[in-house]
Amino acid sequence: MSTRSFSFIDGNPLSTEAILVNASSSHYGEDWSSIRHTHPFTELFYVCDGNGEFFIEDQVFSIAKDDLIIVNPYIQHTEKSQPDAPLSYYTVGVDGISFSFHDKREFRIFNCREKKADLLFHFHSLFRELEEKKEGYEEICKYNLAILIAQLRRITVSGFQLVPSFHPSKECAMVRRYLDSHYSENITLDQLASFSHLNKYHLSHEFTRYYGISPISYLNCRRIEVCKELLENTDYEISDIAHMAGFSSQSYLAQSFRKSCGVTAGDYRRTIKEKNLTVKNKPF
């Protein structure tokens, strides 16, 4: 995986309240393993070349050259390339705004191949300014971003509104950090409410509002990620892994793992080992 990334921190927002956070240019290689993730900001993902799949929450979409994907904050997503047509793409992180589409979805995929607007030009220009950092590049980046958003309005049939995006409250951020580090413990919503000094119903509502998932569902996802890491990198028995990740039993792990990953924990481990063995034995 070849990636070039740049961060952009500036205290003067655009009139739309959009602030450029980062920009990356990436090209897929055989060493890249896609992992579902979220961002606290909106992401614009533009395919420069190649073919692949884009995973958003529990949905999968085929993507190709000149597709644009908009993903609002805290929406779980990742991408996967086709081996025979590796993906090349730009990503741009934009803080302070999210896209409110008429159908109320938190993401949208646009096929820009037949559109008049050359969005790739604007992505390339923005990335080049961040890479070269010539005099006045901050202002140029702001205007490039504003032009890019204006062009999106032109090509969007269903239309959208830009709305302020919210950052998690101190209490929700604290609960998330607690779950990230205490996942192996027996945790209930009542305990999290006591820990955060919030009513449990209010906590659940606010946590879901900011992160798109309830506290207990987030905990379960965190435990699944821990299980996957242990399955990939250790020889622990699955029953031991269930205990280490905080699942009450191996059967509950089995049920949760299959629901989340579509395969059993044992099948997942075998697939990873076979893949690693193939890479190890591959001739140079």
DSSP 8-state code for residue 229: H
Report which of 28, 24, 22, 27 is spatially closest to residue 9, judged by C-alpha positions.
22
The reported pLDDT for the residue numbered 6 is 56
The reported pLDDT for the residue numbered 32 is 63
pTM of the model: 0.57
The reported pLDDT for the residue numbered 238 is 94
The reported pLDDT for the residue numbered 12 is 39
DSSP H/E element including 98: strand 97-101
Q: What is each CA distance from 130 to 6, 23, 74, 134, 143, in whole angstroms?
A: 7, 8, 25, 8, 13
The reported pLDDT for the residue numbered 11 is 41
**Average pLDDT, 10 consecutive residues per value, the chain (284 residues):** 53 54 82 75 92 91 93 87 91 85 81 74 87 88 86 73 72 87 94 93 88 90 92 92 93 92 91 76 58
Distance (Å, whole) CA 246 – CA 243: 5
